[in-house]
Chain A
Amino acid sequence: MTQATQSLTQPSSSATFTGLKCKECGAEYEAKAIHVCEFCFGPLEVMYDYSALAQTVTRERIQAGPNSIWRYRPFLPVVTDTPIDVGTGMTPLLKANRLARRLGLKRLYIKNDAVNMPTLSFKDRVVSVALTRARELGFTTVSCASTGNLANSTAAIAAHAGLDCCVFIPSDLEAGKVLGTLVYGPTVMAVHGNYDQVNRLCSEVANTHGWGFVNINLRPYYSEGSKTLGYEVAEQLGWQLPDHIVAPLASGSLFTKIYKGFQEFVKVGLVEEKAVRFSGAQAEGCSPIAQAFREERDFITPVKPSTIAKSIAIGNPADGIYAVDIARKTNGNIESVTDQEIVEGMKLLAETEGIFTETAGGTTIATLKKLVEAGKINSDETTVVYITGNGLKTQEAVQGYIGQPLTIEPKLDSFERALERSRTLDRLEWQEVLV
């Protein structure tokens, strides 16, 4: 058992979080390493003292803070004044004019977490929070069940923080994601099975070795890190909320936390209240949340994933039902797209905006396109699309779909011939693709 430093388990007088509360039955708990309600097994959510927050937090104080997620520290469930800050967050919010024109939208923005630090996915946000809290709770070993990005992030930030690390992944992950974990020197368990099986195994392991599993016993703290995706967009839009957001859905957690982030900013008076529509994206080969939304169900039927979008292939999504609730009550939608559309989505974003995203981002762009074409996003809505991961990690997905370089001799005529040929190709492509 490595959990020891009890003095830091309780929020200090300067902390703004007050404990944990069951999202289902409302039972309250101390801010310890627990993630499920002992009575009804509902998920636990961090509670804050919003009146204290409203008195202390201002736009100016946030802007004077670090250029990372920790500028929002009062909204995050940590006690320390020296959190693990590896430059995570404050990623670009890019006005995507060319993609907008292609789709027929007027104001489209990309929140680009493909370049989040240090491991190029939004997971660095949640892990920075989880490991800071893990240290406060006295853990010396951290762990996770991951579809890849989380493993990269946990291993990297644990290395920086000097924590021991053991990660569990499905054995069929993309090579880039395995390599991008191993390099930081953690113990890596590649499990024969899909993510849901890995997750189940970890739930069984979680309390046996005294480890802090970021997305199991630390999940209430971990998941709060995703709220910063909401805060940053609000701040980067000039302290206002967008009209519509589109985000990928795996467990559904990120989606619900962006919502919570917007709500909190309204609650403490940092932004004006506004009805923001929330739309979610899934891959057809793993779309339990989209199915529940489509069939107007209030429960999720798990599925067995089969899609190239492995980072979001969660067949039994813990927060799925909350994501459905939010999409419904905000007048949003949840759509699914095919693997072919996912690859097209990756290419579309790369060719119009210069952003190489992974399959989850392709899913989100393809869903955006589908929603626009179906008239489910109005052209004058200020729309923000969340791109949560980097394409260099899932190269397998686009190989064979993006052409080859023109190989030439180091001679002028060879170059001229090749150039002529490439122009011909361009013209052919021009006829197929609308600009």
Chain B
Amino acid sequence: MSVKVLIPTPLQKFTRDQATIECEGGSIAELLDSLESSFPGIKARLCDDQGELRRFINFYVNSEDIRFLDGKNTSLNEGDEVSIVPAVAGG
């Protein structure tokens, strides 16, 4: 499954300054592994030591927060857009 991933500024040093990348994965969990193999080191920034998504990171699939979907098991379809957005903003 090829999906488009929007990378936040603090992680763009891993993606050679690219703000948008194409990546493979049938779910968010698979996407994380595939991101790691393309951009080593990136997964440790997104997940804590237990492999859970850090609490200040939000994932959206086609604009929907994955916490309203199936969390890390949220499935991905061809052409989906995944946004990775730091939580600390707003108010």
Assess A318 versus B85: contact at CB under 8 Å? Given A301-B67, A302-B68: no
Contact of A314 among B57, B68, B88, B91 (CB under 8 A): B91
Are A216 and B89 neighbours in the complex by a CB distance under 8 Å?
A: yes
Q: Does A305 contact B (CB under 8 A)?
A: no
The 8 A CB mask of A216-227 against B (1 = contact, 0 = none) is: 100100010000
Contact of A42 among B19, B58, B88, B89 (CB under 8 A): B88
Residue of chain A at shortest CB distance from B88: A43
Please report the C-alpha to C-alpha distance between residue A318 and residue B91 in the assembled complex, in whole angstroms: 8
User: Given A24-B56, A41-B45, does the pair A203, B86 have CB atoms closer than 8 Å?
Assistant: yes
Q: Which residues of B contact A299 (CB under 8 A)?
A: 55
A41:B88 contact, CB within 8 angstroms? yes
Q: Of B10, B56, B83, which contacts A200 at CB under 8 A?
A: B83
A168 and B8 CA atoms in complex are apart in Å by 19
Q: Does A145 have its Cβ within 8 Å of any Cβ on chain B?
A: yes
Q: Is A382 an interface residue (CB 8 A)?
A: no
Size of the chain B interface, CB-CB below 8 angstroms: 24
- Kindly identify, within residues 49 to 81 of chain B, every residue whose CB is under 8 Å from any CB belonging to chain A: 54-58, 60, 63, 65, 67-68
The CA-CA distance from A301 to B55 in the complex, in Å, is 10
Q: What is the total of A-B residue contacts with beta carbons within 8 Å?
A: 95
Assembled-state Cα–Cα distance A215/B86 (Å): 13
Over the window 1-34 of chain B, the binary record of Cβ atoms lying under 8 Å from chain A Cβ atoms (1 yes, 0 no) is: 0000010111000000001000000000000000
In the complex, what's the smallest C-beta–C-beta distance from A33 to chain B, in angstroms? 11
**Bound-complex Cα distance A321 to B87 (A):** 12
**Nearest B residue to A300, CB-CB:** B55
Check A200 against B60 for contact (C-beta < 8 Å): yes
A224 to B56, CA, bound (A): 20
Is A199 in contact with chain B by the CB < 8 A criterion?
A: yes
Chain A contact residues, majority secondary structure: loop
Contact B90 A36 (CB under 8 A): no
Contact of A316 with B58 in the complex, beta carbons under 8 Å: yes
- Asked if A252 is at the interface (CB within 8 A of a chain B CB), the reply is yes
User: Are A203 and B8 in touch, CB under 8 angstroms?
Assistant: yes
Interface contact A40-B10, CB-CB below 8 Å: no
Q: Which of A42, A204, A302, A318 contacts B83 (CB 8 A)?
A: A204
Alpha-carbon gap, A39 to B44, bound state (A): 9
Given contacts A38-B10, A40-B54, A40-B56, contact A145 B90 (CB under 8 A): yes
Contact yes or no, A203 B89, CB < 8 A: yes
Q: Which of A228-262 contact B (CB under 8 A)?
A: 250-254
Asked if residues B55 and A321 are in contact (CB atoms below 8 Å), the reply is: yes
Kindly list chain B residues whose C-beta atoms are within 8 Å of the C-beta of A251: 90-91
Q: How far is the CA of A235 from the CA of B86 in the complex (A)?
A: 36
Contact of A36 with B86 in the complex, beta carbons under 8 Å: yes
State how many angstroms separate the Cβ of A267 from the closest Cβ of chain B. 24
Q: A43-B88, A203-B89 are in contact. Are A36 and B65 (CB under 8 A)?
A: no
Q: Known A24-B56, A223-B91; judge A36-B10 contact (CB<8 A).
A: yes
Q: Tell me the chain A residues, 271-292 only, with Cβ under 8 Å from chain B.
A: none
A306 at the interface (CB under 8 A from B): no
**Residue A71 CB within 8 A of the other chain:** no
Whether A212 sits at the interface, judged by CB under 8 Å, is: no
Task: Determine the distance from Cα of A204 to Cα of B5 in the docked complex, in whole angstroms.
Answer: 12
C-alpha gap A317/B88 in the complex (Å) = 8
Q: Smallest Cβ distance from B84 to chain A, in angstroms?
A: 10
**Residue in contact with A145 in the complex, picked from B56, B65, B89, CB distance below 8 Å:** B89
Does A195 touch B at the CB level, under 8 Å? yes
19 pairs, CB–CB < 8 Å, chain A vs chain B: A24-B56, A36-B56, A40-B45, A40-B54, A41-B57, A41-B88, A42-B88, A195-B90, A200-B63, A203-B8, A206-B89, A219-B88, A301-B67, A302-B67, A304-B68, A316-B90, A318-B87, A319-B88, A319-B91
Name 13 extra pairs, CB < 8 A, besides A35-B89, A41-B88, A223-B91.
Answer: A24-B56, A44-B88, A195-B90, A200-B58, A200-B85, A204-B6, A204-B83, A207-B9, A219-B88, A253-B91, A302-B65, A314-B91, A321-B55
